[in-house]
Each structure stands twice: as structure tokens, then as C-alpha cells.
A and B are shown apart, each in its own frame.
Chain A
Amino acid sequence: MENQEQQASAADILTQAIANKLDYLSTMQAAVQHGDDRKIYELLDQVRYYQEVKKTRTKRAVNHLAELVDNIHPQISHYLSDNLIDYLGRIYPFFYYEEYTTGLFHIYFGNWWDRRLFGDLDVVNVRFDFDKAEYQKLRDSFALESQNQRLNTAKIEAVSAESERLQQLVDAQDDRDSQKAELRDQLKENSGKSSMPWESGKVKEERQTIIDQLTKLADEDEKALNAHKSIKANDDRILVLSKEDTILNYEKQSIRDAFDDFEHFEAHNASLYADYLNSLLGKSEGEVTVDD
């Protein structure tokens, strides 16, 4: 019967669809059992794999089979991280990883004091997700190098100059005291002056000038009084800035040691997926290949 035929073909189609999924999962399972990380990566993103590793021009249709394992990405990531981090350790000797929860990794830059948390390692996609702000600091720091400057040179100079100005205010206390005494004498003299109506404007004006000067000196006195505290606060700010410069300097040095310059470092990051999978391809040539 036609209806039966129709039902049979619907069943066939579904059976085939289920078979595809089963096939996908059993291929994945076999790859895990044989430690074939390359195959796992291929299965996780076939489109990207054929584009970046096989470098085929024809676009493969997205089959959505990879979605089957979406909710076990943490376990997959945890599993794949072993070999990936070994590989990264050779190329990026200055990065340190911490698996803060299953399959999720923080990247730390360096092993120096107060090294920076630099972002996350995306194991499934073989990609660094650098913290944007931290990465930008590093980029700026490289850019400033050509001008013989560190990231915080200008800021440190500004804060130091402010401290110096405050110190001068403190040092000039005696000068101000004698100026004030003189101005007060002038003020006394001024109030004793004749108050002839045609003179009163000038006397008033003179008086105001003296008072203005005294006010300015009093303001400076007050600043000087708080100067010690401000200088201490400035020292703390300079410490924070110098520390950041020191860290950036170590980071730059590490990148230069491994990649010569920042551009090469970025180029390596961009081709990391292909480079890593090609390295796995080379490795698995001698091994028993599964499912090919």
C-alpha cells in the first residue's frame, strides 16, 4: 500500500538520521578511546577543520551533528587540555594555565610576582580569549617602546612632579611666614591711612590686594599642612604604576624571547588552530589510524 510505503520511507529516513547520530557519536567514542585528539577536533567542527587544516575550497554543509556533544564540552575540554597545554607550553613558555572549574582554564602571564590574569584558554576551539583591557595594555606598551617610553612613564612623571611641588610648598613655609608678617604690617599701615574721600578708593583697593595675597598664602599653608599625606598617597600610586610597568616589561621580554616581536606573536595566535592540528596530524601518521 502507498500509505505503508510512505510510512516505510519515513521510518527509513528517521533510521538513517538516527544512524548518522550514532555513527557520529561512535566515531567520537573511538577517537577518545584511541587518544586521537585530531579526529575529535575534526568532529567538533568539521567546517573549520576542512577550511583551515585541509584547506579545501568547497564548503562543507553544516550537519549540526557536533551539537550532540554541546553539553559535554566541559568533559571534552578537560580531556583535550592535556595534550594542548603540553603543546602550548613549548610555544608559549610564559603562559600558565589554571583549570578553575572542569574544562575551563584561566591563563596567567608569567610566574613573576603578581602576574596578571590574562584571559581564558578555549580548549575546544584552540583559541586564547585574552582579557581585552590587559591585552590592550600590552599592545600599547609595545607601541610606546619605539619612543623609549613605558606605559606609565608619563603618569609617573606627573605624580612625581606633583610630589615635588608639594615638597616645595612645605619647604617654603618660613618664606610664607615672613611674607605674611610683612603683609599684616602693611595691612595695619593701610588702616591707619587718611580716609580722605578722594583717597578712600585707592586705600580700599590696596587693602583688598593685601587681603588677597594673605588668602593665597593661607591656602598654600593648608596645602603644605596636608602635603605629607598627599606625598605618601602619591608614593603609593607610583608604586602601583611602576609595578605595572615592571610586569609589562617582563611580558614584553617573554614575547620577544619566544617570537621576536609582537606581530609574530599575534600571527601565531591567529594560526594556532591550524598549527596545532597539523602538529597532531604529523604525530598520528605513525600511529594506527582509526576509522578512515
Chain B
Amino acid sequence: MINENDPSTLTTSGRLLNYNEAIKTGLETGLTFTKLMDQLIRTTNPDELVSAATQLADFQLDSDYVTFPHQYSNADYYLLFMSRMLELHDQGNQVILQSRDHREELTQQLTSLGDRGTFNFRVEPSANGGVFYRERATGQSLFYLNLERKMLRFNSHALTQLFVIDLHETVPAETVKTSVQVLIDFARYLKEDYGYSVDFNILDAANRQNYAVRAADLPAGIVDRLFVVAAQNDYMLTNGVNGNGAEIILDEGVVVDIFNNQLSGQPEWVLTVHDDDQKTSWFDVLLKYPFMRDWYLENLTDLEIKSDPLIFG
């Protein structure tokens, strides 16, 4: 009896046919790949762009019979995708994609930040999948992106370390703001155009955003410290409207509250930033007010805004 799955039972021509089929499948995979690459690089349709990127995100180019010696890593397709997405929103010039000589590997720079930061994606090896957008020199992962699950999560720790601490001395606040805005815009397109679930974290300028701090039961001394330094800077920390926290009115109608969000049971201290135009985030406050920045950084162990614990736990 001839069993197609058992080569020993095949005739010579049967074996050759199997071999030929396997190569064809491998080449077809290659062709599919080139089509997706074409689509990723050339399409002007955002839907096709997202579709190509999603398919390429975990594309297996090699098969048993056909392998391709020159390949970019999956992470690079994300970088390409990000550039193209910005390009389709007329913001292509805000990032610079760089390929290395003799190596299939891409890196990215944020135009306004220049060579003070080089970025790429790192594939998350666990079953969760997805990638981390990180600054290569410092290893800070600024956000997590998962195209299959349609989610993006910013990381307060990395944003603070890189932009509020590391680059503080060398890069003007305005430049930091412009650079970070590119990341915010990219996430916003995914959220608004494709219904991604996005956690902007400390970059969220919406008034309703509650930034939960790490120490759910915040020690009272921390608010006292803000009270004292605020007075030294001619701002007054007052009792909060809801009576279980404090409030400080900054300039241009920006109001920061810090309060226990739970009326009973387990405390949960949070920060909020309110302004009429909903244009100011906690990140913006940190950039604009040195005394708020110092207070936040000096008490970072307790005050650091929480990021998605499932991703950045």
C-alpha cells in the first residue's frame, strides 16, 4: 500500500512530487510575504497598512524546504508600520527610519530628539506576544504594542526615567514635549481609527483620568511635603473639594488634585490634572513645574504612577 506520509512507501516520482510541493508551498509563503511587504511599504490606505502589519507581526517566512538567508526581524515590521502610520497622517517627517549597512536591521529616531535617543521594538518572547517600543541606549520600554490584541500601553516608569530624569539636563522641556507628542499621536491614531484599547498613562490629558500612585495608602508626610514646597513657590495646597485629599491650583487654570479615591475600605490614592481644554497631563505638569517634578522624583517610590500591571508588572 502507498502511504503518502511515509516516504519509504513512495515511488521515486512520488517522492519528487512531495518535494516539489513543499518547495512550492515555501515559495508561495515567500510570495505572500513580498506582497505583504509591498503593502506595508507602499499602501496609502490605513486599513491595508494595519492589516499588513498585523499579518507580518508573527509571519513565519522560512519553511523546512525553503529558507531565506536575508531577513528583517518581526520587530522591524512594527517600526516600519509606525513610520508609515505617521506618514499617512502627514507626520512622516517626525521620525527617521535608519537601516544599517550589511545588516537587515532597522532603528528609529524621533526627529526633534535627534541622536539623543535611538528606538526600536523588542519582541516579547512570552506567549502574550506583542512588542515593546524601547530606547536602545537606556533600555527603557516606553510602550507595549500588540496588534493582534489591538492594545497599546504606555509605561509611566520608562517615560519618567527617560524624559523626566535622563534627558532633563540636556534636552529642553519643549523638545521633550514635541518628541513625546509623536508617540501620543501614533497611539491616538490606533485608538481613534482602529478602536485599539490604549492606556496613555501619565500622558493622558483627559480630565477624567485618575493616575493611581504606587502606594495605594499614601503616607501623609508626602502630601505635607508638597504643601511646604508649594508655599515656597507661591502656590497654595488647599483641602480638596471632596474633603479626602488636597488640591493645588497651578497656572492657566490647571488644577492638580491628590486624594483617596475610595470613600470606604481599601484606600486608593490617585492624582488628577484638570484644565478646561483637557490639554494638560501629569507628564506636562512634571515638565513645567520644577517643584512638582522634584516632589514627584523625591517620593517616586510611593508616588510613581502605576502602569498596566499585566504588562509592566
A236 an interface residue at 8 Å Cβ cutoff? Answer: yes
Give the chain A neighbours of B159 by CB distance below 8 A. none
> Are B228 and A236 in touch, CB under 8 angstroms?
no
> How far is it, in angstroms, between the C-alpha of A242 and the C-alpha of B221 when the chains are bound?
12
Number of interface residues of A (CB under 8 A): 13
A246 an interface residue at 8 Å Cβ cutoff? Answer: yes
B138 an interface residue at 8 Å Cβ cutoff? Answer: no
B236 an interface residue at 8 Å Cβ cutoff? Answer: yes
B33 an interface residue at 8 Å Cβ cutoff? Answer: no
B227 an interface residue at 8 Å Cβ cutoff? Answer: yes
> Are A250 and B231 in touch, CB under 8 angstroms?
yes
Cross-interface CB contact of A111 among B221, B225, B238, cutoff 8 Å: B238
Given A249-B231, A250-B231; A239-B239 close (CB under 8 Å): no
**A contact residues vs B (CB 8 Å cutoff):** 111-115, 236, 239-240, 242-243, 246, 249-250
Minimum CB–CB distance from B253 to chain A (whole Å) comes to: 19
Given A113-B227, A250-B231; A236-B221 close (CB under 8 Å): yes
Ranked 3 nearest A-B pairs via Cβ: A113-B237, A113-B227, A246-B231
Minimum CB–CB distance from B156 to chain A (whole Å) comes to: 25
> Are A112 and B238 in touch, CB under 8 angstroms?
yes
Cross-interface CB contact of A250 among B224, B236, B239, B246, cutoff 8 Å: B236
Chain B residues 192-226 with CB under 8 Å of chain A are 221, 223-226
Minimum CB–CB distance from A292 to chain B (whole Å) comes to: 45
Give the chain B neighbours of A242 by CB distance below 8 A. 228
> Are A239 and B231 in touch, CB under 8 angstroms?
no
Give the chain A neighbours of B246 by CB distance below 8 A. 113
Q: How many A-B residue pairs have CB under 8 A?
A: 34
Minimum CB–CB distance from A274 to chain B (whole Å) comes to: 33
Closest to B232 in A: A246
Give the chain A neighbours of B224 by CB distance below 8 A. 113-114, 239-240, 243
Minimum CB–CB distance from B207 to chain A (whole Å) comes to: 22
Give the chain A neighbours of B239 by CB distance below 8 A. 111-113, 115
Number of interface residues of B (CB under 8 A): 13
**B contact residues vs A (CB 8 Å cutoff):** 221, 223-228, 231, 236-239, 246
> How far is it, in angstroms, between the C-alpha of A281 and the C-alpha of B243 when the chains are bound?
38
> How far is it, in angstroms, between the C-alpha of A220 and the C-alpha of B221 when the chains are bound?
31
Name 10 extra pairs, CB < 8 A, besides A113-B239, A250-B231: A113-B223, A113-B224, A113-B226, A239-B221, A239-B225, A240-B224, A243-B228, A246-B228, A249-B231, A250-B236
Give the chain B neighbours of A114 by CB distance below 8 A. 224, 227
Minimum CB–CB distance from B235 to chain A (whole Å) comes to: 11
Give the chain B neighbours of A113 by CB distance below 8 A. 223-224, 226-227, 237-239, 246
> How far is it, in angstroms, between the C-alpha of A239 and the C-alpha of B221 when the chains are bound?
8
Minimum CB–CB distance from A243 to chain B (whole Å) comes to: 5
> How far is it, in angstroms, between the C-alpha of A249 and the C-alpha of B231 when the chains are bound?
9
> How far is it, in angstroms, between the C-alpha of A111 and the C-alpha of B239 when the chains are bound?
6
> Are B227 and A112 in touch, CB under 8 angstroms?
yes
Given A113-B246, A236-B221; A246-B238 close (CB under 8 Å): no
Cross-interface CB contact of A246 among B221, B223, B227, cutoff 8 Å: B227
Closest to B246 in A: A113
Give the chain A neighbours of B227 by CB distance below 8 A. 112-114, 243, 246
> How far is it, in angstroms, between the C-alpha of A115 and the C-alpha of B227 when the chains are bound?
11
> How far is it, in angstroms, between the C-alpha of A111 and the C-alpha of B228 when the chains are bound?
15
Give the chain B neighbours of A243 by CB distance below 8 A. 224, 227-228
> Are B228 and A239 in touch, CB under 8 angstroms?
yes
Q: Can you name 13 A-B pairs with beta carbons within 8 Å?
A: A111-B239, A112-B236, A112-B238, A112-B239, A113-B223, A113-B237, A113-B238, A114-B227, A239-B224, A240-B224, A242-B228, A249-B231, A250-B236
Minimum CB–CB distance from B247 to chain A (whole Å) comes to: 9
Q: Which residue of A113, A239, A249, A250 has the most chain B CB atoms within 10 A of its CB atom? A: A113
> How far is it, in angstroms, between the C-alpha of A112 and the C-alpha of B246 when the chains are bound?
9
Closest to B237 in A: A113
> How far is it, in angstroms, between the C-alpha of A242 and the C-alpha of B226 when the chains are bound?
11
Minimum CB–CB distance from A103 to chain B (whole Å) comes to: 22
Give the chain B neighbours of A246 by CB distance below 8 A. 227-228, 231
> How far is it, in angstroms, between the C-alpha of A240 and the C-alpha of B221 when the chains are bound?
8
Give the chain B neighbours of A249 by CB distance below 8 A. 231
> How far is it, in angstroms, between the C-alpha of A98 and the C-alpha of B238 when the chains are bound?
17
> Are B228 and A112 in touch, CB under 8 angstroms?
no
Give the chain B neighbours of A112 by CB distance below 8 A. 227, 236-239
Minimum CB–CB distance from A70 to chain B (whole Å) comes to: 35
> How far is it, in angstroms, between the C-alpha of A142 and the C-alpha of B221 when the chains are bound?
26
> How far is it, in angstroms, between the C-alpha of A76 and the C-alpha of B225 when the chains are bound?
43
